[in-house]
Amino acid sequence: MVDYFSFKSFLSYFTLQLLSLRLQNRPTLSIRIVLLLLSVITLSLVLSGCIGEKDVDRSAKVYIDHADGRYTIVRNGKPFSVRGAGGYSHFRELREAGGNTLRTWDTTNLTQVLDSAQKHEIAVIVGLPLPNSGDLAFYNDPQITEARYLAFQSLVKRFRHHPAVLMWCLGNELDFPYKWTYGDFYESFNALTDMIHREDPNHPVTTTILNFNPKYIFNIRLRCNIDLISFNIFSTLPLLRKNLDNLAWFWKGPYMLLEWGINGPWQGTEQTAWGAYIEDTSKKKADIYRQRYRQHMPLKDPRFLGACVFFWGNKQETTQTWFSIFDEKGNASEAMGTMQTIWKGKSSQVIYPEIKYMLLNSQGARDNILLNPSGPASAEVLLFKGHDRIRSIKWQLFREDWYRENRVNSTRKMTPLATTESNGENLRLTFPAPKQEGPYRIFATIYDDQGNFASCNTPFYVVSPP
């Protein structure tokens, strides 16, 4: 008797090998390979039950409908388009800005998150964290995977009737490889998916992959049973429409973007000579959010179910301001106003401070600024507008956050080496450079009379003269 799962794995592996061939370089084999490829794909789809669509239970509280060529989330009997953000807080601000969905990555304080969301009429995509498929020590151990299964089963049973739940997101940025050695990963992932469908037929299940990855989509389509695919996509958002069109011959299912926004410090971001990433000002970030949404969000695609901007809150990732739409005290940056304009379709009436750039000893971040230990330094912030509404400016000095764990940026909040606050009359700071050699950043956060803020920072390196 042929092992069904192994046979599907073989078909996935074989088909992907064919996909990787450059047919234009092998003209004598092109026709045969194409025919064989189509045969293998058709057989794979038949065996995996992927031809045709799943039966839709229209009595469910939340389901994905497909009618007249368009996919739609139906929630409590009404069409629901995700206007969302990733985070764990600021529910009132999200609602007032025109958002309707919060996406989480794990179940930390889930009761509080769901209750607060319901209070402010926000739906929640609940994240269920999983190790990546490459963690074979996890997936090859039946006791560990069984414990995770039982934990998730208990959690789903506990929260499946909460009115704020929109859907479940199983894992975040998982890899979906085609090698047979990952069979235990697929077995565990599918067991969890089936369990959620069985225990909670009222809410769909999705997962996220980083960027648009045809191989991962292929394997999800053939080897998994989720209801829709979600993408975390930043700098490659301009390529999404083309990528979707290129793979439409194989996959035409519904999708969401569960993370989108400005470039991360891993995607072609400029660096100093010593490898410190150069961060945009809050003004430039707001412009990027606006431009990417208007020009590249696939709003007219009938398969598109919505998107969640990243990050609705305050978090450390390379810096404490890189992705943070709010500061640590809950004050909002211009990106908040940008999202309100996007979601409500009309310009925000709030006027935020707009930083042009920062200079350190009359140099910019791209000038690879070097300072002598304890040497004099002078920082200055220049604005486009908003001088008359500045209430205060906070200067902070930090060591460069170079800590990585498994090649993942640290999320531990850093402690400033020095902090100075002043009124808004003087946008300059004179300070002595640190005594110890190494990489640092000087931050400036400007607050207006409404509590909104603008931010910028400049990396520099302290080194003794030769």
pLDDT at res. 268: 75
Give me the percent of the chain exceeding a pLDDT of 70: 86
Tokens 């997962």 identify what position?
207
Q: Which of 247-251, 283-287, 376-380, 386-390 has the lowest mean pLDDT?
A: 386-390
Q: 3-state class of 30 per DSSP?
A: helix
Assigned domain for 292 exists: yes
Distances (CA, A) of 328 to 321, 394, 412: 10, 13, 13
Query: What does R_g of the chain's alpha carbons equal in angstroms?
Result: 25
For residues 62 and 167, the answer to whether their CB atoms sit within 8 Å is yes
Q: Which of 49-58, 128-137, 363-372, 399-408 has the lowest mean pLDDT?
A: 49-58
Compute, in degrees rounded to 10, the torsion defined by CA atoms 340, 341, 342, 343. Answer: 50
Residues 13-25, mean pLDDT to the nearest whole number: 49
Same-domain status, 182 and 319: yes
Same-domain status, 157 and 247: yes
Displacement of CA 49 from its chain's centroid (Å)? 30
Same-domain status, 165 and 207: yes
For the chain, what is the mean pLDDT? 90
For residues 305 and 255, the answer to whether their CB atoms sit within 8 Å is yes
Same-domain status, 13 and 91: no
Same-domain status, 115 and 79: yes
Same-domain status, 82 and 209: yes
Same-domain status, 117 and 161: yes
Would you say the pTM of this structure is higher than 0.75? yes
Phi and psi at 346, nearest 5°, equal -145, 150
pLDDT at res. 36: 57
What type of residue is 71? Y
Assigned domain for 411 exists: yes
Same-domain status, 268 and 144: yes
Give 354-400 pLDDT, tens digit per residue.
999 999 999 999 999 999 999 999 999 999 976 778 999 999 999 99
Same-domain status, 241 and 310: yes
Domain count, the chain: 3
Confidence label for 408 from pLDDT (cuts 50, 70 and 90)? low
Assigned domain for 56 exists: no
pLDDT at res. 33: 58
Residue 40 belongs to what domain range? 4-48
15 membership: H or E segment, kind and range: helix 4-19
Residue 305 has pLDDT above 80, yes or no: yes
Same-domain status, 306 and 376: no
Same-domain status, 231 and 361: no
Dihedral angle sign, alpha carbons of residues 137, 138, 139, 144: positive
Q: Which of 16-30, 328-342, 409-423 has the lowest mean pLDDT?
A: 16-30
For residue 384, give the CATH number of its domain.
2.70.50.50
